[in-house]
Amino acid sequence: MSVGRPFRIPEELGGEHRRIRTLSWLSIGLLMVAGTMIYLTVGQSQAMKTAWISDVLTAIPPMALLVAMRYELRAPSKRFPFGYSRAVSVAFLVTASMLSLIGLYLLYDSAMKLIRREHPPIGTMELFGHQFWLGWAMLCTLFFSMCVGILLGKLKGPIAEKLQSKALQAEAEMNQAEWMSEGAAIIGILLVAFGFWWGDSAAAAFISIEIVRDGWHNVRQVIADLMDESPTKLGERELEPLPERVRDAARALPWVAEAGTRLREHGHAVTGQVFVVPRSASGMDGAQLLQAAEEATATLRRLDWRLHEILVVPVSALESTIPPRTPSDDDRPR
């Protein structure tokens, strides 16, 4: 049985797991460079100010992930007998909440500037003895920030899929969505250049909405995980077929008449119980049943590397509420 043992990433995926650290540090470095460039050219533009805050906020999830990775694979302790697999979920709950709250404030700030009809001045800058419109520098820094986000998203996506890491997948989606935020800021600055004063605040409001959307999406996912939701497909709300696979494998055991599962996700790990009804004709005594359950546990764990602390529990009968869910359950609104 694996009860009380720390969760381990398989050796063949160890390199991918270590790459998460490298990508997290790379993300922090590139986003800080992009944020600094935007800060130096922000001027009086509300869109640039919001884009700068967006870049800074996007650097928080990789920081939280680095901290959580120090704990997630630690062995269970007396105080935390189930281990630290949920460290990543807790870290992302904090950062997602911050994203949502700051995004709401920025949305309010942008809306107030639109209501007050504030006209943002975009001045000039001196470079090598020549005067340049500051908007050109703004556009260049925004384009650089856009490329950084797309690059990081492309690098993180494949690793998240291999490791089934929802935290890294959320980061990849946030990074790839940066093109919309930076693109909105670029359009806003160009609109101001052509005399449409409202373009700057409108772009800032759009970026704020994107920040709130990212935050809410992550909060919803993390809360579902902390409430022991059944495993879902990466980046989707649809339930994945792993519980059904485990149930069918348990039913295929020669001494099992019926089986049901109750699985949940703890970070990378999937834990839970498999309830089995022994065949009446199996003729096993208590010791034999215990040995069969131990062997079944080892067999079921080999179905997927994420399965950890799977307990096979012999019962006399299954309740009708034992998962996996039926299709009608999956279709209910959430």
pLDDT tens readout for residues 109-156:
888 888 888 777 776 666 676 677 778 888 899 999 999 999 999 999
**Residue 1: band (very low, low, confident or very high) from pLDDT cuts 50, 70, 90:** very low
| Alpha carbon distance 165, 162 (integer Å) | 8
Domain extent at residue 35: 11-226
The answer to whether residue 263 is domain-embedded is yes
What are the tens digits of pLDDT across the range 62-80? 998 898 888 887 888 888 8
Does 233 reside within a domain? no
181 & 326 share domain: no
CA-CA-CA-CA torsion sign (194, 196, 199, 200):
positive
* Whether residue 160 sits in one domain with residue 65: yes
CATH number at residue 271: 3.30.70.1350
- How many beta carbons lie within 10 A of that of residue 330, not counting itself? 13
Q: Which of 283, 301, 51, 73 is nearest to 187 (CA)?
A: 51
Quote the distance between the C-alpha of residue 163 and its chain's center: 12
Q: What's the CATH number where 41 sits? A: 1.20.1510.10
The per-residue pLDDT for 281 is: 63
- Model pLDDT for residues 168-217, shown as the tens digit of each residue: 888 888 888 778 888 888 888 888 888 888 888 888 888 888 888 888 88
Place of tokens 């998460």: 20
Residues 169 and 317 both lie in one domain: no
**314 and 170 both lie in a single domain:** no
Q: Name the domain count of the chain.
A: 2
Q: Which among 262, 251, 256 is positioned nearest to 314, based on CA atoms?
A: 256
Predicted pLDDT at 92: 79
